[in-house]
Copies of this chain bind each other. A is one copy, B any other.
Amino acid sequence: MNPRVLQIPGSLIRQIAAKRRPTSINLGLGEPTLSPTRAHLDAAVDYVARHGLRYSPNAGDPALRDAIAGYYAYPEMDRGANVCVTVGSQEAMYVTIKTLLDPAKDELLVVEPAFPSYVKMARLEGVDVRTVAMSDAKDFAFDASRIAAAIGKRTRAVLICSPCNPTGRIMRGQQGELLVKVLSERAGRPIWLIHDEIYREQTFVDDAVEFARIYPHTIVTNSVSKSNALTGLRLGWIIGPQQFVDQAIKTHAWITSCADTFAQAVALNIFQTPGAIAEHAEWYRRQRDGVRTILDAGGLRALPIDGSFYACVQLPPGVVSVDAAVALIEKSDVLTIPGSVFGTCFEGWLRLSWVAPLEQVHEGVARIAEFCRIATL
């Protein structure tokens, strides 16, 4: 078998999550608890009744590609030809990494803490990965100088998830502009920015940077999974310069042929309904304010929540995050995700999702605080 596949370890997150009981407080979940809007699904059912469920073009339904490009209206990437519709943002990222990087000579720079799949996807393709850790002392804020300093001779792309899973931090105006300035002023072949915008509709600051607006060598991945509570629909996309997207479509075509036609009809209805992409944004804003209040009262060090639906809390010195997560689910019945899965720089932290009802978030944080109190004794 393929040794690169054999080397992929089992998912630690899933091993811990498997310990969950029906009674557990679930702060581990990486998907919305809201229900999707029925009208989007009804529109897709109507579409299927009229047209059946035929293959779409490899790159996706032209009307959907146009709608996505038009909605974001990123400069020079605002036409349907700039969009490849994919099987969720997972395939969007996989296709992007596989298409953009030459395993023989290119290196991917991943800004950490980061969702572990980026590094694993690159390794699966034989692409070398370098990571750059944001600083605990700065609450893991995105730091353009630090990122720029980590760029090596073989770095061909920098991967940034902002709003960030797990930290909840966002690359903001000045830092984003600084990073783009450094990249733009470099000699030689351009370095690409891969911007995972999956938590774009959970943004709680006013100056979030959208790299596609200020740097032409940007590739954006996104989906309707988090914005519209449609994780199971598997409908995402790549937006980028046409020269890149034309190649990405070929990769995508050989891997999955095309995205689900039903799912594309759902997404088309979302993009054709004014405000629908942001239909859950207000709920997240209110929920986040409630979570901030809970955390402020909890006595734990927590990172600022600029965006996403995660909060991160620090464990007492010397407590290993995997041990803490195991103890918390086994003894306190609270599911959390250990920071170390997001990079060694995030050891000593826990990621909490806050999509559960606030009472549960409150109770979960109280149990974590108690766990930390006892661990400190």
Contact = CB atoms under 8 A, between A and B. Distances in A.
A223 to B, nearest CB: 10
A256 interface: yes
A15 interface: no
Interface in A175-233: 229-233
A70 interface: no
Contacts of A292: none
Contact of A8 (B94, B230, B234, B254): B254
A123 to B, nearest CB: 9
Contacts of A231: 53-55
A229 B233 CA distance: 20
B45 A99 contact: no
A260 B257 contact: no
Nearest to A121: B254
Given A45-B41, A234-B260, A94 B254 contact: yes
A300 B2 CA distance: 46
A258 B233 CA distance: 10
B261 A88 contact: no
Specify how many copies of this chain sit in the oligomer.
2
A281 interface: no
A1 interface: yes
Contacts of A1: 99-102, 244, 247
B229 A53 contact: yes
Contacts of A293: none
B232 A256 contact: no
B102 A251 contact: no
A259 B234 contact: yes
A232 B262 contact: yes
Interface in A1-15: 1-3, 5-6, 8, 10-11
A52 interface: yes
Interface centre among A10, A31, A247, A260 (most CB of B within 10 A): A260
A255 interface: yes
Contact of A255 (B54, B91, B230, B259): B91
B244 A262 contact: no
Secondary structure call for the A interface? helix
Contacts of A90: 254-257
Nearest to A228: B53
A255 B94 contact: yes
Interface in A251-280: 251, 253-263
A87 interface: yes
B254 A234 contact: no
A174 interface: no
Contact of A52 (B94, B229, B260): B229
Given A90-B257, A99-B5, A254-B124, A262 B233 contact: yes
B2 A87 contact: no
Given A54-B231, A88-B256, A233-B262, 5 more contacts: A2-B99, A55-B231, A87-B234, A234-B256, A260-B260
29 contacts: A1-B99, A1-B101, A1-B102, A1-B247, A2-B98, A2-B100, A2-B101, A2-B103, A3-B104, A5-B251, A31-B55, A36-B52, A36-B53, A41-B45, A52-B229, A53-B232, A53-B233, A54-B231, A54-B232, A56-B232, A90-B256, A90-B257, A94-B256, A117-B254, A232-B258, A232-B261, A233-B260, A233-B262, A255-B255
A-B pairs, top 4 by smallest CB distance, nearest first, are A232-B261, A53-B232, A90-B257, A234-B260
